[in-house]
């Protein structure tokens, strides 16, 4: 596609529910990144993949958060048993090459609100 796409753009859920956020990277991009952005802050790294392999998940806040990219393209970030503190903008980015410092291109984000 022309750019990184994310769905849904907005998600409102009740505390305790599971949510799945989807990211479709730029076609052919090797690396895919997930970030979380709180209001008034910059994006914070969560995890990233090269192809289908999860390379670094050090930014995932706890074991309720998980991510996968089973075929090396689309990725899903899953949050189990959501809590109000999970409310944030979740951003996905992709880059052409697996080595740094390649440029990351961002999607529009998913705004998650946990009631």
User: What is d(CA 115, CA 104) in angstroms, rounded to the nearest whole number?
Assistant: 32
- Residues making contact with another protein (CB under 8 A): 4, 33, 40-45, 48, 56, 58-59, 91, 93, 100-101, 103-109
Query: Cβ 66 to another protein, closest distance in Å?
Result: 17
CB of 86 to another protein, least distance (A): 19
Residue-wise DSSP of 21-37: EEEEPPTT--EEEEEEE
Collapse the DSSP code of 69 into the 3-class scheme (helix H, G, I; strand E, B; otherwise coil) and give the result.
coil
d(CA 17, CA 13): 7
Shortest distance (Å) from residue 79 CB to another protein: 19
The secondary structure of residue 98, as a DSSP letter, is S
Q: Which is nearer to another protein, 109 or 114 (CB)?
A: 109
Least distance to another protein from the beta carbon of 113, Å?
15
Is 85 exposed, middle or buried (CB count within 10 Å of its CB: 0-12, 13-18, 19+)?
Answer: exposed
Q: Based on CB atoms, which residue is closest to another protein, 30 or 105?
A: 105
User: Which C-beta is closer to another protein: that of 47 or that of 82?
Assistant: 47
């Amino acid at each position: 596609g022309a750019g990184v796409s994310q769905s849904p753009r907005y998600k409102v859920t009740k505390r305790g529910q599971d949510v799945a956020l989807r990211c479709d990277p730029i076609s052919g991009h090797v690396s895919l990144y997930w970030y979380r952005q709180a209001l008034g802050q910059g994006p914070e790294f969560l995890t990233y993949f090269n192809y289908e392999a999860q390379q670094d998940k050090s930014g995932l806040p706890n074991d309720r958060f998980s991510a996968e990219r089973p075929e090396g393209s689309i990725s899903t970030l899953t949050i189990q048993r959501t809590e109000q503190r999970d409310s944030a903008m979740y951003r996905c980015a992709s880059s052409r090459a697996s080595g740094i410092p390649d440029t990351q291109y961002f999607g529009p984000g998913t705004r998650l609100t946990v009631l």
